[in-house]
Amino acid sequence: MAIMSKDKINIFISHYGGDEKYINSFKGMIGDAYDVRDSSIVETDPNKAKDEQYIKYQILAPKIDWAGKVVVLIGPNTHERDYVNWEIEYALKQSKQIIGVFLPGASRSDIPEGLDKFGDYLVTWDHDKIISAINGEKISWENADGTQRPSITTQRGVC
């Protein structure tokens, strides 16, 4: 019997540094469907850059450019992070698919403004829903508890 190889997926995981512990869990969750190659920046691998423009265009932008999809992990502090909104808006300009994933314990008020405006999908921490979003399947936007959110009009291209 031949062993089937998994599809490779290049992703950038946008997140608040305090939620870094969920990155490996996320990759493990989708690892049965994809060979995940991640270009995210994590605090355990720090750089000494301080200049905001340098960080955005010399460190973050190439990593987002490389990725095929951008996943935004939504925790209680994500919406307060300017870099997360910048990453979402940059991904939009690069025509990347943007997928929001609620972390356990997150709420609707934790959604970054950029994701609310420009995201393609918003799902709970659920394997099947995340895989459906990555695959680009039509699924509804969700609240943190998994209930359907009212439809929103995406503003793709208005960044």
| pLDDT computed for residue 55 by the predictor | 81
User: Is 145 within the bounds of a domain?
Assistant: no
User: Is 26 within the bounds of a domain?
Assistant: yes
Residue numbers of the chain with a pLDDT score lower than 50 = 1-3, 156-159
Q: Closest Cα to residue 157, out of 78, 102, 95?
A: 95
**DSSP H or E segment with residue 9:** strand 7-14
User: Is 122 within the bounds of a domain?
Assistant: yes
Quick one: tokens of 46?
Answer: 């720090």
Distance CA 159, CA 155 (A): 8
Dump pLDDT digits (tens) for 141-156.
899 999 988 755 555 4
Distance CA 47, CA 131 (A): 32
Quick one: tokens of 80?
Answer: 């307060």
Please give the single-letter amino acid code of residue 30. Answer: I
| pLDDT computed for residue 44 by the predictor | 58
Q: What is the CATH classification number for the domain harbouring 90?
A: 3.40.50.450
Domain count, the chain: 1
User: Is 103 within the bounds of a domain?
Assistant: yes
